[in-house]
């Protein structure tokens, strides 16, 4: 008697849920559930028409992980429109928002450089401090030049200290004069002086 091959039971094909439309996901940005808002923000990646809605969500969002998702999606749109709208939040009273926006701007090397001159001239020294944070991680050939100029020229010690922090990871012996000059400009600022003095031996060793 011949062997009878047992037929494999046919499993129904798994049907993946259809991705919501951009219009649906834009509406979900206001959903009361944070997970829903986060998924919507990430799902809108690459959708140009979603930019205004995402920008409006930045200041309104109260959940950190949702706001981070919104900023991640927005920063992929490396345009002056998006960068300019985000840069406004560098003056926010919300420290977490300021920092999150600075981190997002640092990932936008095409559009952010055009904003740097106006940010360096901002009357609010806190905005200039945040600008130093942006420049610390901005992948642009002029970033170090701008930071060095802040150290040499900015009139506020907090800004200069932030710029020094931004420069130090990539600093070399050639930066010693501008760092020592900063200490001389602000002799009564102990934190600035300590930051520079702690870095000088390492930098001198590079000479």
pLDDT score of 17 more than 70: no
Helix (H) or strand (E) holding 87: helix 80-87
pLDDT score of 5 more than 70: no
Q: How far apart are CA 105 and CA 70, in angstroms?
A: 13
Residue 71 near residue 104 (C-beta atoms within 8 A)? yes
Under the banding of pLDDT at 50, 70 and 90, the label for residue 18 is confident
**Average pLDDT for the chain:** 92
**Residue 74 exposure: Cα atoms within 13 Å on the Cβ side:** 30
Q: Indicate the domain borders of the chain.
A: 111-207
Q: What percent of the chain stands above pLDDT 90?
A: 88
> Which of 13-22, 97-106, 186-195 is least confident?
13-22
């Amino acid at each position: 008697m011949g062997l009878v091959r047992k037929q494999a039971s046919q499993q129904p094909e798994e049907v993946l849920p259809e991705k919501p439309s951009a219009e649906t996901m834009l509406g979900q940005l206001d959903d009361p559930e944070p997970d829903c808002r986060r998924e919507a923000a990430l799902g809108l990646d690459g959708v140009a028409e979603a930019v205004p809605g995402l920008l409006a969500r930045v200041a309104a969002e109260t959940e950190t992980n949702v706001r981070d998702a919104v900023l991640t999606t927005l920063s992929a749109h490396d345009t002056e429109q998006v960068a300019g709208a985000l840069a406004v939040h560098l003056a926010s009273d919300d420290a977490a928002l300021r920092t999150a926006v600075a981190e997002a701007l640092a990932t936008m090397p095409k559009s952010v450089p055009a904003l740097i001159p106006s940010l360096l001239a901002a009357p609010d020294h806190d905005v200039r401090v945040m600008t130093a944070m942006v420049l610390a991680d901005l992948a642009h050939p002029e970033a170090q030049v701008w930071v060095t100029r802040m150290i040499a020229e900015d009139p506020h010690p907090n800004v200069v200290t932030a710029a020094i922090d931004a420069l130090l990871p990539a600093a070399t012996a050639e930066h010693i004069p501008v760092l020592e000059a900063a200490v001389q400009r602000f002799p009564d600022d102990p934190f600035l002086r300590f930051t520079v003095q702690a870095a000088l031996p390492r930098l001198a060793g590079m000479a």
